[in-house]
Amino acid sequence: MIIRYFYNPIFYILLCWAMTLISCDAHQDFPDTGIKTGQILCTDGMTYSLDAMRQAGKQPIAIVFHVNNDPDIEGNGYAVFLYELPATQFADSLGITQGTSCDITTFDGNANTYAMYATQDCSSPLATEVFDMWRYGQSAYIPSVAQMRMMYTARDIINPIIKECGGDLLPTAEDSDWFWTSTEVKDMNAAKAWLYSLSSGAMQETPKLQAHPARPIITLNN
């Protein structure tokens, strides 16, 4: 009698459904390992929460300010380095285009920075400074205008984490710092590139010979 009841189709379906629910309940506490804005990129190439970083004794290098959900954009997101670069020139001479896209809507700071560095007819003190800081396998570059906008939007989220890690805070509304982007000004790219204010979100076309600070970023890949 017990065997016939066990092989009853309706009873078997209900039994399988119940076992599925039990199985789901048993596995619902898996940790969330996805990248999040405000997480800390460390020298081992991994991202951690502040508490996890401290417990593991890791060395911070950058803070995640954007997580990428667009398959058409390269990488899993962007992280801003803890420290800004001192003021320096975009180029050491005028009258030469340096091959950036001049597009203020694209996320191409990495390609722009390489174009600045590789220009034959003039050098870029800014790009050279960034290339010289590469370490721990992290490829730093100067963000494009579009990437700076992302950083500006996330400023209030990431500044407390930057402070906890001992880095240079992104400017607040009370500051007036302007930072180089890696985007030259369209139709004036032989002489000007864009500055971006992280305190106001404003842009300003500026002669490349002027010295301004920069805030390097990296692309997250895994």
Residue 35 lies in a domain: no
C-alpha distances (whole Å) from 12 to each of 18, 69, 161 are 10, 42, 53
3-state helix, strand, coil in the chain (%, to 5): 30, 25, 45
pTM of the model: 0.82
116 with 24, same domain: the answer is: no
25 with 104, same domain: the answer is: no
Identify each DSSP E strand in the chain by its residue range: 40-42, 47-48, 60-67, 77-81, 85-89, 178-184, 192-197, 203-207, 211-214, 217-220
44 with 85, same domain: the answer is: yes
pLDDT tens-place string over residues 34-56:
789 999 999 998 999 999 999 99
pLDDT interval class at 206 (50, 70, 90): very high
By mean pLDDT, which of 28-32, 91-95, 99-103, 143-147 is the weakest? Answer: 28-32
Identify each DSSP E strand in 60-169 by its residue range: 60-67, 77-81, 85-89
Q: Evaluate if residue 1 carries a pLDDT over 60.
A: no
Interval 171-196 mean pLDDT: 90
Predicted local distance difference test score (pLDDT) of residue 22: 47
Predicted local distance difference test score (pLDDT) of residue 34: 78
87 with 120, same domain: the answer is: yes
DSSP H or E segment with residue 151: helix 145-153
53 with 147, same domain: the answer is: yes
| Coil, strand or helix at 51 | helix
Nearest residue to 104 via CA among 185, 167, 12: 185
Spatial distance between the Cα atoms of 100 and 181, rounded to a whole number of angstroms:
11
Q: Evaluate if residue 29 carries a pLDDT over 60.
A: no
Predicted local distance difference test score (pLDDT) of residue 10: 56
Q: Evaluate if residue 165 carries a pLDDT over 60.
A: yes
Predicted local distance difference test score (pLDDT) of residue 139: 79
% residues pLDDT > 70 (the chain): 81
73 with 164, same domain: the answer is: yes
66 with 151, same domain: the answer is: yes
Spatial distance between the Cα atoms of 217 and 81, rounded to a whole number of angstroms:
6
90 with 12, same domain: the answer is: no
Evaluate whether 216 touches 85 at the Cβ level (below 8 Å): yes
Residue 141 sits at φ, ψ, to 5 deg, of -155, 165
Residue 62 lies in a domain: yes
Residue 104 lies in a domain: yes
Tally of domains within the chain: 2
106 with 3, same domain: the answer is: no
Interval 149-157 mean pLDDT: 95
pLDDT tens-place string over residues 65-93:
999 887 777 788 999 999 999 999 999 99
Residue 191 lies in a domain: yes
Question: Greater confidence, 47 or 135?
Answer: 47
80 with 170, same domain: the answer is: yes
180 with 73, same domain: the answer is: yes
Evaluate whether 74 touches 219 at the Cβ level (below 8 Å): yes
11 with 110, same domain: the answer is: no
Predicted local distance difference test score (pLDDT) of residue 35: 87
Domain hosting 190: range is 40-220
